[in-house]
Amino acid sequence: MDTIFSGIQPSGDLTLGNYLGALKNFIPFQDTAECYYCIVNQHAITVPQDPQQLHERTRNLAALYIAAGLDPKKATIFVQSEVPEHAQLGWMIICTAYVGEMERMTQYKSKARKEEAKEGFIPLGLLTYPPLMAADILLYQSDLVPVGEDQRQHMEITRDLAERFNRKYGEVFTLPEMWAPKGGARVMSLQDPTSKMSKSDDNDMATIHMLDEPDVIVKKIKRAVTDSLGHVHYDKENQPGISNLMSIHAAVSGKSFDEIEAMYEGQGYGVFKKDVADLVVGEMSPILARYKELMGTPELDAILDEGREKAHEKAHKTYDAAIHAMGLYR
């Protein structure tokens, strides 16, 4: 049986893009694999965070994991900072990494520029982010890691670091493979469909959040930027707005672009937008209802307590093997 690990940062309100591009893809694995799904809150602090907000977002994200369909009886759901082996192994992996390879990471370069412009300094945590991510994955002897295409470089460095450790200290870590869905949904901004939908977009009409009420979702899709061509056709170059809405439709309905084009032949954008809104509301409403239910009961803490124990049990075995391989024992 394969072991799966993946995690999401609690750094903002999750969007429809996070759900269709990541969270929804986690769910099928729980029936066929040993799954560990983590709220990676220690990654969030690589840039400044408001402590109370980080605490609240961590709980919110845990509730969304479960509300979206992750079953704590089938998958281990836990908070990264509650399993100390993540930070402990992270330091060991940092000590096998090279400054040059960390500085070459594309996400480091873009985030460093952004933080320096915003804060006047570059947090060191941004540089050492990849070894901590590697530790997260390697602790569970993961075979597959479902992540977005933007994480490919991080997955490559994870394998490099694991191979380097294994060569130097003996075979401790499984070399993980990245799993990306075929034709996976990359949801774009509703107001600028050439840019990815973002948690932090200043224009709230550009982003559908997982916790948006149904009427808000309908309003945002109704106002989504399209074009003047007037026919539903997948063409990212000339019709990026309609293509984005088609991607959302396909991800929720399971229909191909050809099928969607045939369904709306001769119909205007108004009918199409209404159907996309109905599909999204139908998908998100049960998640919102279950989320509200979880946030008002002790059930969430019970699930996370159990997840912490199960994750710790697995993580400690790998950590113990790693410290013995490296000589970090008396």
Q: What is the pLDDT of residue 182?
A: 66
Q: What is the pLDDT of residue 202?
A: 85
The CATH 1.10.240.10 portion of the chain extends over: 204-292
Q: What is the pLDDT of residue 249?
A: 96
Strands ordered across the beta sheet of 177-179: 75-79, 34-39, 3-8, 144-146, 177-179
> What parts of the chain have a pLDDT lower than 50?
none
Q: pTM surpassing 0.75?
A: yes
Query: For the segment 131-179, what is each residue's pLDDT rounded down to a tens digit?
Result: 999 999 999 999 999 987 778 999 999 999 999 999 999 999 999 999 9
Q: Which residue has the tokens 């205007």?
A: 268
The one catalytic residue among 74, 196, 222, 317: 196
Per the DSSP assignment, residues forming a β-bridge with 255 are none
199 is catalytic: yes
Q: What is the pLDDT of residue 276?
A: 97
The one catalytic residue among 74, 199, 255, 317: 199
Q: Which residue has the tokens 């191909």?
A: 256
Domain formed by 204-292, architecture: Orthogonal Bundle (1.10)
115 Cβ neighbours under 8 A, 6+ residues apart: 47, 121, 122, 123, 126
CATH of 3-184+298-326, one of 3.40.50.620, 3.90.730.10, 1.10.1740.10, 3.40.50.720: 3.40.50.620
Q: What is the pLDDT of residue 266?
A: 87
Query: What whole-number distance in Å separates Cα of residue 240 and Cα of residue 195?
Result: 10
Total number of residues shown for the chain: 330
The one catalytic residue among 24, 111, 220, 314: 111
The CATH 3.40.50.620 portion of the chain extends over: 3-184+298-326
123 Cβ neighbours under 8 A, 6+ residues apart: 46, 47, 48, 115
Q: Which residue has the tokens 């490919």?
A: 152
Q: What is the pLDDT of residue 13?
A: 83
Residue 291 tokens read as 């989320």
Query: What Å distances lie between residue 133 and 8, 83, 330, CA to CA?
Result: 11, 14, 28
155 Cβ neighbours under 8 A, 6+ residues apart: 145, 147, 176, 178
- Specify the DSSP class assigned to residue 20: I
**For residue 102, with 0-12 CB atoms within 10 Å meaning exposed, 13-18 middle and 19 or more buried, which class applies?**
middle
Q: What is the pLDDT of residue 121?
A: 92
196 is catalytic: yes
Euclidean distance between the first and the last CA atom of the chain, given in angstroms as a whole number = 35
